[in-house]
Chains A and B, each alone.
Chain A
């Protein structure tokens, strides 16, 4: 084990897959000479050469479409969107081509698209979004949202080896802020298996990505009230660990779903609906959602603070639930 940042864990995981599997290549804007906008692929081109670490023109459609063709020809491409927001330019390639190709034509598309997502740095409306639920709605795509350095490495290895198009959302606010022990050897973290970030008995928070840490800070404040909070980190939205969610809901009987994505149509709605359908009798309170409001991501700090769920918002939500 070694202590690593979330960003270092992604970088190490990617390098390790490229070393052991000649089929893996990286393509994106500024990923080669520059090492990527966030330096995830720093030094990769020196090690693997310009045809395995490909500086692409500013062409998200060609990047993702190109990965699709290369994957069908037996490669294991890893595309980097410079920011998750830019995936809108490649929507058609993911949703129209890659997602449906196995089902309708029997041609699997094993690609991984890395998506630096999330806000907290005044990135504004086009460098801060969390578009995971848009893709979770598309049959045929897998959606991965690691929260810890250990998961960041293991889930990336799983995504690259998975025979499907995988959207790997790496939260920018975790890149250098979060450090933890990461196994040195190669491992794959399975999809669809939630992680208990902390155990608790009175309330459950279901979340993923950077909100895991917001939930952790909020739960620490509830500790002082004598309320014990369980935090479930979903790790992957497609597939998602329904069983673990229902088990925790049945255990604590009070559930808060927390995400940084906007409210309406967010994946939290799917979780809340499933709990209502399958664990209604076990609930002692309505399922609560804390999310970003239904607006674009704002630029100015006070606006962004109002947009992204804060620790205080979660504390208030948890207290409401505890008192219900």
Chain B
């Protein structure tokens, strides 16, 4: 029950044991590139004045988000937050729809009604986040409750951050999940800064994963820049939950490599901290691993990079053609109709 610090994954054979073949590994690499690529292009769009409001990225969190999402089964569900673009990408959202969402266009998943990463495609098993971040944890627990009531072997994953850990929703969600041993995995993206607030002003324990013990389940701390380690811990936790073993709290340690949002230069983060964490950039790190352990060739790497570039360029063009939403339809759909329940989940 005590908290555990996850080991890194060393060899290709260990990775195979964890359930990934070489194609999967290249897929993970590609998803991490797409994730960062979407947010880098978003940044440019913002500076071009094409994104209204503010703009948030998850730079530094690509391994964590992609690693956990890769471990999900097709019928599993989750409530990813604003640093978790990699979850949407891994579950298969089309990047052009994300750009449309950024720009407030009709073809974004929320049709311009909400912005940023406040979106999700329910058909991909994801539920759209709200700004009150830990509010999504009870919702994830509720998904797990539905699976438990129906006796399904499905799992829900709820994401939160070390900032959100300070709110009561987090406690209520974890306590209820622990009491009922529900099939849910809590993933804490601990990126060490909640806007300008450092960890020592958010919590007084050594690791947030320590709290799992108080809720009666396991906690583990994993290096959130190591995609394979994240994947292995997520896979263990998800399969444990699926097999009736109850919840797990995974604390994925990273650094938020940019400001809270695009307007914030993060002057309050010590320069040395950025420099230190830049050395373990999740994408660089995984590329090196692939070269050393999975014989990633220069040609393969160039092929993947070119494919991602084309995907995102095409996506951007398509998104820019998407119309703006029609103000005359503003109040449509405030209330749902019975027909709206015709989704893969509500049935």
Contacts and interface: CB of A to CB of B under 8 A. Distances in A.
A and B: real partners? yes
Interface of A: 25, 51-52, 54, 56-57, 59, 61-62, 64-75, 77, 92-93, 96-97, 100-110, 139-140, 142, 163-164
Contact of B109 (A62, A66, A105, A110): A105
24 contacts: A25-B149, A54-B145, A57-B172, A59-B172, A61-B168, A62-B141, A68-B139, A69-B156, A72-B122, A72-B127, A72-B346, A73-B147, A74-B347, A77-B142, A96-B130, A96-B135, A102-B333, A103-B334, A105-B122, A106-B122, A107-B122, A107-B343, A109-B336, A164-B336
Given A68-B142, A140-B334, A52 B176 contact: no
Nearest to B120: A105
A93 B143 contact: no
Given A68-B142, A70-B149, A73-B77, A57 B179 contact: yes
Given A73-B142, A73-B143, A92-B132, 10 more contacts: A51-B148, A52-B149, A65-B142, A68-B138, A69-B146, A77-B142, A101-B127, A102-B333, A102-B334, A102-B336
B81 interface: no
A163 B176 contact: no
Nearest to B141: A66
Contact of B135 (A74, A75, A97, A109): A97
Interface string B99-135: 0000000000110011000111010000110111001
| Top-6 shortest CB links A-B | A69-B142, A65-B138, A108-B336, A105-B128, A66-B142, A73-B146
A70 B144 CA distance: 7
Contact of B119 (A69, A97, A105, A108): A105
B299 interface: no
Given A56-B176, A61-B138, A69 B130 contact: no
Given A65-B141, A65-B173, A69-B141, A110 B168 contact: no
B137 interface: yes
A67 to B, nearest CB: 6
Nearest to B136: A97
Interface of B: 77, 109-110, 113-114, 118-120, 122, 127-128, 130-132, 135-149, 156, 168-169, 172-173, 175-176, 179, 333-338, 340-341, 343, 345-347
B340 A106 contact: yes
A93 B176 CA distance: 16
B166 to A, nearest CB: 14
Nearest to B149: A51
B75 to A, nearest CB: 10
Contacts of B139: 65-66, 68-69, 72, 93, 97
B346 A61 contact: no
A32 B341 CA distance: 29
A142 B340 contact: no
B77 A105 contact: no
Contacts of A69: 127, 138-146, 156
Contacts of A100: 130
Contacts of A25: 149
Given A52-B149, A69-B139, A142-B335, A62 B144 contact: no
A52 B139 CA distance: 18
Contacts of B77: 73
B145 A59 contact: no
Given A73-B147, A100-B130, A107-B127, A139 B334 contact: yes
A163 B138 contact: no
Contacts of A103: 113, 333-334
A73 to B, nearest CB: 4
B290 to A, nearest CB: 36
Contacts of A107: 120, 122, 127-128, 343
A62 B335 contact: no
Given A68-B138, A164-B335, A74 B340 contact: no
B176 A62 contact: yes
A72 B138 contact: no
A104 B347 contact: no
A213 B175 CA distance: 43
A104 B169 contact: no
Given A104-B110, A105-B109, A70 B340 contact: no
A51 B151 CA distance: 10
A295 B215 CA distance: 40
Contacts of A66: 138-139, 141-142, 145, 176
Contacts of B118: 104-105
Contacts of B169: 61-62, 65, 92
B114 A74 contact: no
B128 A65 contact: no
A50 to B, nearest CB: 10
B76 to A, nearest CB: 11
A209 B131 CA distance: 35
A71 B141 CA distance: 12
B172 A74 contact: no
A163 B337 contact: yes
A163 B132 contact: no
- Interface centre among A70, A73, A108, by most chain B C-beta atoms within 10 angstroms, is A73
A67 B143 CA distance: 8
Contacts of B335: 102, 140, 142, 163-164
